Structure 1
């Protein structure tokens, strides 16, 4: 029970320093990133009702969403732009952390969590691009598979595990769909919750 109260107190402390609330220090980049993630989750769930992964069904689903489903094009655009906003805001957030030296102890572990979230954001953006099922995304999938297979020993198993046989003809695989819609978002959400808690536990965002 004590641990639970401690967690809640760090997430929602009684007081927050004035410096921690300064817009000029943080530019609210972490908050913008999380807001973009929430928009991505909400619009992504709506898109899942009409999207079918597959060599032919992937691209057909995107076309149907854009031209047939009511507000489908708007929802897809919101999902796309929220993804780009998140990529930019997370990247700028990491630059801000480096500039303010917020990666120093005792915040070095949270810095690693932040780097993991940056990588996850980029992977989520890339897998979302693959789910378009277009010729361009197929070419990107083929390049990704080729790069992974260059890794000695584990390259081919990794390509199969993460991309599921994606190729220039079929980038919209069920494997990519599951990673993009289920596994990676839940991992990103868990890391974000831990990230926020660790920020509070380490004393907020004020300079060390």
Structure 2
């Protein structure tokens, strides 16, 4: 996992470019009905393609490049779900739910996707039987993958950092008891770890039972 890149994705609305990308996907016959909604999204290596922090929810088909897809639980455990490649779908769940998921998709190299906004296209998407069948097939494959995956090995200290980075607003943990419950540890264990991180200047105490990360997420990915 890497840090959130400040540089945002590039969007292209050129019709010829969109049509060329459409021809490269095996879903051309299905997606050709939505050409008025489509655009091309381009991402750089290390850039997040989907995160729970996004406000503009997109449905995307990978045209070029590869993507790491992983899930972060409330206890800080990281589950590698899949390595997305050409013709894999991203953002299907957001079509059906309003609450952000805990799924992250990160570009392993330069990635090009065919994309559309689920907000403005939702009615048309849900009215297409062939599109819904495509979504069902994709989600079925992902569910099968999830049931066979184990969490990436991580000790409690690593999970505390992951929890603060991805589950706490602005990287600030507030409330030891609540955090300890999510992390499946005692408040005393969590306090000892936070005290050590404070001594190492990885976190700073901001109040009673409150600590904030003071280092970049790029550094955390190497911990």
TM-score, structure 1 normalization: 0.28
Q: Which has the higher strand share?
A: 2
Larger relative contact order (CA 8 Å, sep ≥ 6): 1
TM-score, structure 2 normalization: 0.27
Q: Which has the higher helix share?
A: 1
